[in-house]
Homo-oligomer: A and B are copies of this chain.
Amino acid sequence: MLSNHLQNGIETAKMAWSRLPNADDEATDAVGIAKKSDESSVESLDYEVIENFAYWEEQAQRGKLYVWYYVVVKWFFALLIGIGTGLAAVFINLSVENFAGWKFELTFWLIQKSYVVGFLVYLLINLVLVYSSVCIITQFAPAAAGSGIPEIKGYLNGVDIHGILLFRTLIGKVFGSIGSVGGGLALGKEGPLVHTGACIASLLGQVTCGCAAGVAAAFRAPVGGVLFALEEVTSWWRSQLMWRVFFTSAVVAVVVRTAMGWCGSGICGHFGSGGFIIWDISGAQDDYSFEELLPMAVIGVIGGLLGALFNQLTFHIAYWRRNFLHKRGNRVKIYEACLVSLITSLISFGLPLLRKCTPCPEYDPKSGIECPRAPGMYGNYVNFYCSKDKEYNDLATLFFNTQDDAIRNLFSAKTSHEFSAQSLLTFLVMFYTLAVVTFGTAVPAGQFVPGIMIGSTYGRLVGIFVVNFYKKLNIEEGTYALLGAASFLGGSMRMTMSLCVIMVEITNNLKLLPLIMLVLLISKAVGDAFNEGLYEEQARLKNIPLLGSRPVYEMRRMTAKEACGRRVISFPRVVKVADVVSILQSNKHNGFPVIDHTRSGETLVIGLMLRSHLLVLLQSKADFQHSPLPSDSRGSRFIRHSLNEFVKPASSKGMSIDDIHLSSDDLEMYIDLAPFLNPSPYIVPEDMSLTKVYNLFRQLGLRHIFVVPRPSHVIGLITRKDLLIEENEDSGTMELQSTSVRARHRDKRLVTSSEESNSERPLLNGLLVRHPSA
């Protein structure tokens, strides 16, 4: 044993890490319960947690019961997240529907007397609602502006944006979106609901569940929610998580359904007649002929083009806002939002006034749709500024309505010829412009509903031509509106399967699935030819570094060595406090290799030390020692910290080295890093293709990879059969199916000695022979 202390160091670290009851993936659960981290967060995947030795030792003894306890707690939290998100969604919808309902009721009542008074009141109500929303955001919760989806994506991709999951943000998001959506702006509440769900879930440490719950609540689409979380949000996934996420989504669906059933008797005011987007078009065409595929493909192309244009325009406007307008302070943000509100009110009230009314069609008892609709009701055929009773204003049917109702009208079946091509075109141009301008104001804003609005407008426009051209009875304009909506969302957000399922779930019609797929396929392909998806563009704008699902082409020509540009700063195992402080001050690296020396002078990498853990050690001072020699690693006296101290809070800036003040005596002391380091970070040889490194990094959700020299020899080769160890519930021993580990254990000494032909590292030999006893 040449260098006992080096060996001890590795041993110590290894013991500490391996004694975690679920060292590699459930350390995170304990953290989840401590409400401080997220299980899907990359944070936990890199095992950047250190355990309290005695605590875990005790837990490990409790065994099965303990595992069960955690499973139950996890599921209980998933239940709570579902209930919480469902209730938040109901609250938002209830409020929005009531504000909007009162607003339109009052306005319709007033315009019977005077259009000017009606307009002024309408404008004022909108302004107040938007003003309150923008004030909440600017004064109280700045992180709640926008949709929040790019930030959540970033968080689950491993990037922590300041303040994004705070309780304050949750409150701001809920009340802010009530104001902005109730105030009639061209934005939706679906994106903010996803953020809301994530905020609620982050309180309980399961952000992925929250995302899915948000989508499930927004669209009442539990399957769509799971797929959204799977496809769009997380970068890491496993099937156990999927099932829990699905459970959460289903709980949301039950909560929302229960609440709506409860409100069905009319005790919730205007809520119940509108609200949750579920457009049941079961009365629509559920068959299609091959001639229709061409116009549907045209819808797909339009969706791709308009969607890509939308991304491009919003990117540029948001860039300008971010770098010029919003730098001038909160007052500008407030003025801006109010101005947008005024313009929106003006357009939505004013444009229908210019439109001539259309005589009502004959009443069709089959459809049961009245024309004009009864006052105070929702639905098609709005009588607005019409000279006769039996007339309706098709532009007002779209504009002078909540967006949910407008979409319902656009999707409606058995209402052919309700909208004129001219009105649809006017609406399309105006609403598209409004949506682009509104995007990026300092209010909570989703893009789903505006996207559906835009898409269903040109979809219905195409539908009008198809109905006229093919003169078939079973073609419904509403179906084309639905396909248009899918195409615009596909062209803008570039989601695929989740969007498809969401569209199917909100229309409750599985038969349209192939058609929705067709337009999505086309619109996504067309959009991809121009730019990235909306969320990726916005994330780029916000400097959120998202790792895409596949490496870029250039990486094929690069090696691992070429990618790591920073100079690496290593720590020795026992380091002087003053050195730690000066190194932490001199750079911003988050991880440091720890290197120890054998007595023969050789070096050996013994692990990875995190900045955050170093800061904890510096702050507590409990592990400072006078001697520059390693502390004795035998026994369990050496960790004086509890697990929680080392766990990074889910969303915070954490400590900074500047917050730590040490006396000059302290600076002269030493720390033995061995118990606190991660003893086996992932390594890659220096000339590995960067593509491979990228896959490793992303698939495992890592934060640090060591690039090391090519190894001098191979100790062993692990293949599938080596990993087929059967779980044995009764004892700590293990059984192998094809090759017995137990037999191998017996042969260990033999194997080790025969393999270790390279005798340059005697200490490793000793280490490895001794380890099984640990």
A interface, CB within 8 angstroms of B: 10, 14, 17-18, 20, 22-25, 158-159, 222-223, 226, 231, 237-240, 242-243, 246-247, 250-251, 253-254, 257, 261, 287, 496-497, 500-501, 504-505, 508, 510, 513-514, 517, 521, 540, 543, 545, 547, 549-568, 570, 589-591, 593, 595, 602-606, 679-680, 682-700, 703-728, 732-734, 737-739, 741, 744-745, 747-748, 751, 754-755, 758, 761, 764, 767-768, 771-772
Contacts and interface: CB of A to CB of B under 8 A. Distances in A.
A707 B714 contact: yes
A239 B554 CA distance: 21
8 contacts: A24-B691, A247-B521, A253-B514, A561-B771, A565-B741, A566-B722, A570-B713, A682-B692
A551 B22 CA distance: 10
A679 B710 CA distance: 10
B680 A683 contact: no
A605 to B, nearest CB: 5
Contact of A709 (B505, B568, B712): B712
A717 B17 contact: no
Contacts of A497: 223, 226, 242-243, 246
Nearest to A726: B552
Given A570-B714, A715-B709, A720-B703, A727 B561 contact: no
Given A545-B724, A560-B718, A565 B744 contact: yes
A714 B552 contact: no
A71 B708 CA distance: 36
Given A711-B683, A720-B159, A755-B568, A699 B700 contact: yes
Contacts of A505: 510
Contacts of A240: 549-550
A500 B246 contact: yes
A513 B747 CA distance: 54
Nearest to A566: B717
Contact of A545 (B521, B709, B737): B737
B680 A688 contact: yes
Given A556-B18, A720-B703, A709 B562 contact: no
A721 B25 CA distance: 24
Contacts of A500: 246
A150 to B, nearest CB: 15
Contact of A23 (B261, B591, B684, B691): B691
A547 B606 contact: no
Closest 5 pairs between A and B when the two form their complex, measured CB to CB = A564-B716, A708-B711, A24-B691, A680-B688, A565-B744
Nearest to A521: B247
A722 to B, nearest CB: 5
Contacts of A222: 513-514
A556 B24 contact: yes
Contacts of A261: 287
A748 B562 CA distance: 8
A25 to B, nearest CB: 7
B253 A513 contact: yes
A685 B723 CA distance: 16
Contact of A721 (B17, B545, B591): B545
B711 A706 contact: yes
Contacts of A550: 25, 238, 240
A713 B562 contact: no
A115 B556 CA distance: 75
B695 A718 contact: no
Contact of A718 (B251, B257, B564, B595): B564
Contact of A719 (B687, B704, B764): B704
Nearest to A222: B513
Contacts of A738: 545
Given A552-B727, A561-B715, 9 more contacts: A14-B559, A243-B496, A246-B497, A547-B723, A561-B771, A564-B722, A682-B692, A699-B699, A699-B700
B703 A707 contact: no
A708 B715 contact: yes
A689 B718 CA distance: 13
Given A243-B496, A561-B768, A711 B517 contact: no
Nearest to A251: B514
Nearest to A700: B699
Contact of A559 (B251, B254, B771): B771
Contacts of A549: 238-240
Contacts of A711: 604-605, 683, 706, 708-709, 711
A10 to B, nearest CB: 7
Contacts of A242: 231, 496-497
Contacts of A695: 24-25, 700
Contacts of A14: 559, 687
